[in-house]
Each structure stands twice: as structure tokens, then as C-alpha cells.
Amino acid sequence: MPNSNPLDLLNAYIKEHKLRHTYERERVLEFILTIDGHFTVQSVHQQMNAEQPIARGSIYNILELFEKVGIIVRHPFSGNEAQYETTARANTHHHRVCISCGAIKEFSDQKIARAIKNRTFASFEKRFHSTYIYGLCKKCQPKIKKAKK
């Protein structure tokens, strides 16, 4: 994979697309790289505003840019607000998503990770991956069985 340093990726994208460098982008990037888990626009806004004000709309736009650059991934979890995580972190685990209550559990599986790492595609360069398994969590299984009776 080419250079995957997030700041280098961002700077290369900005230069290629003739965008301007902003303090807010670098500040948000530094902040999200410290997060060990999923995050939302709201959570980033709340935590960053505690230090120094930043507009919520700016965070939306910045995260959209980071997604285009490949620094973060937006997860297709159900719910009102999109959840993100850094692509480096997304490569380290997979997700079990309950289709009833929306609960999300992360898990690691070396066999899955190796299979994806070793898989090559013609005319396609992998950058990162994230795996989702949808089903029913332990709490919802009895509720669904009871509802079917």
C-alpha cells in the first residue's frame, strides 16, 4: 500500500484537488486519531468544543473529506447518526450487528483477517476492510422466538 500516514494522505489529497489547508482539518484529524473506537459527528463536536469551539457543520464537512481521502470509514450501522472509525482501526476487527436492537459488538478473527489480507483482485488495490455480520444478539433471540409463537 502506498504511504498510509493520515496526515500525508490528507496533504496529498488537498494538493491534488487544489483545496486549501485549514487549521480545523488538522485539529479534527489529530483528535480522531486519538479515539479508540467508533465516533459520531456529535461525539467529536462535544469533545472538541470542550477545548476550543468548532462548528458542527465544519465537522460534518471535514469527516466527509476524510472519508474521501480514506482516513476514516463510515459504518452502515442502523441508527440516526452515522458512526465512523479510522481505517487503521477498522482493519483490526469485525462487527456483529443485531438486526433487532441495533447492538454492535466488535470481534477479532485471525482467519478472516488473513483471508482478506491474502485475497487479491484484478484491477483493484485494497486499502482497508471492514466486515459485518448481521443477526440476532443474545438478548433479542428469546424475544424473536417468543414473538413467532
Q: What is the pTM of this model?
A: 0.79
User: Cβ of 3: how many Cβ atoms within 10 Å?
Assistant: 8
d(CA 95, CA 53): 33
Each domain of the chain, given as residue ranges in start order, spans 1-90, 94-149
Task: Tell me what percent of the residues of the chain surpass a pLDDT of 90.
Answer: 66
Just give the CATH number of 94-149.
3.30.1490.190
State the pLDDT at residue 3: 53
The Cα angle at residue 88 between residues 86 and 92, in degrees rounded to 5: 110
User: What are the DSSP calls for 83-108, one per residue?
Assistant: EEEEHHHHTT-EEEEETTT--EEEE-
What does the pLDDT look like over 64-111, one tens digit per residue?
Answer: 999 999 999 998 887 778 999 998 887 788 999 999 998 899 999 999
For residues 131, 101, 64, 72, the Cα torsion angle rounded to the nearest 10 degrees is -30
d(CA 117, CA 111): 10
Looking at CATH, the fold of the domain delimited by 1-90 is given as Arc Repressor Mutant, subunit A (1.10.10)
Cell of 144: 424473536
Bridge-based pairing of strands 132-135 and 94-98 is: parallel
